[in-house]
A and B are shown apart, each in its own frame.
Chain A
Amino acid sequence: MSPTTPPLDTPPEPVRNLEFKAALLLMLLVLLVAGSALYVMYARGVFENTQRLVLVSDDSEGVVVGMDMTFAGFSIGRVSRIELAEDGNVRILVDVPVKDAKWLRSSSVFTMEKALVGGTKIRAYSGMLSDPPLEDGAEREVLRGDAAAEIPRLMSAVRDLLDNLTALTGEDAPLAQTLANVQDVTGRLKGPQGGLGVLMGNEADARQVMVTLERANALLARVDALAARVDSLVANADKQVFGQGAPEGQGALVPDLRAAVQQVTGLLGEARGTLRQVDALLVEAQGIAANTRTATTDLDVLRAQVETSLRKVDSLVNDINRRWPFARETEIELK
Chain B
Amino acid sequence: MNPVASLQDALVRWGRSSLASVLAWWQVLHLGAEIIVLALMPSSYRHAAVRRDVLEHIYRATAPLMTWFLVLSALASLVLIRIVVATAMSYGLSQYALEVLVRTLVLELIPLYAALFVAVRFSMPAAQQVRRQLAEWRSADGVPGHQELLRGVLLPRALGSVFSVLLLAALSCLIALVLTYFNVYGFSPWGLPGYTRSVGAVFSPAVSLIFVLKTLFFSLAVAFVPMASSAQPDADGAYARRSDMSEFARLLSVILLLEVVSLMGNYY
Contact = CB atoms under 8 A, between A and B. Distances in A.
Interface of A: 1-3, 5-6, 8-9, 12, 15, 18-19, 21-23, 25-26, 28-29, 32-33, 36, 39-40, 42-45, 65-68, 75, 78, 117-118
Interface stretch (B20-28, B142-150, B180-188, B249-257): B142-150
A2 B203 contact: no
B96 interface: yes
Contacts of A25: 58-59, 62-63, 163, 167
Interface stretch (B76-84, B168-176, B238-246): B168-176
Contact of B133 (A8, A32, A75): A8
B59 A3 contact: no
Interface of B: 47-50, 52, 55-56, 58-60, 62-63, 93, 95-96, 129-130, 132-133, 136-137, 144-145, 147-153, 155, 163, 166-167, 170-171, 173-174, 194, 196-197, 199-201, 203-204, 208
Contacts of B130: 8
A1 B163 contact: no
Contact of B170 (A5, A12, A33, A117): A33
Describe A's contact surface by its main secondary structure.
mixed
A329 B204 CA distance: 174
A40 B106 CA distance: 13
Contact of B152 (A1, A12, A42): A1
A106 to B, nearest CB: 26
Given A1-B152, A15-B60, A21-B63, 5 more contacts: A3-B152, A21-B59, A22-B55, A36-B173, A67-B201
Contacts of A40: 199-200, 203, 208
Given A8-B129, A18-B52, A43 B197 contact: yes
B58 A22 contact: yes
A23 B96 CA distance: 40
A263 to B, nearest CB: 108
A257 to B, nearest CB: 100
A23 B63 CA distance: 12
A9 B129 contact: yes
Which of A33, A36, A117 has most B Cβ within 10 Å?
A36
A2 B152 contact: yes
Contacts of B170: 29, 32-33, 36
Nearest to A65: B204
Nearest to B170: A32
16 contacts: A1-B151, A3-B47, A3-B152, A21-B59, A21-B63, A25-B58, A28-B171, A29-B166, A36-B174, A40-B199, A43-B199, A44-B201, A44-B203, A68-B197, A75-B194, A75-B197
Contacts of B152: 1-3, 5
A65 B144 CA distance: 56
A32 B132 CA distance: 36
Contacts of A42: 196, 200
Nearest to A41: B200
Nearest to B136: A9
Nearest to B59: A22
Contacts of A68: 197, 201
B167 A29 contact: yes
A283 to B, nearest CB: 119
Interface centre among B47, B129, B170 (most CB of A within 10 A): B170
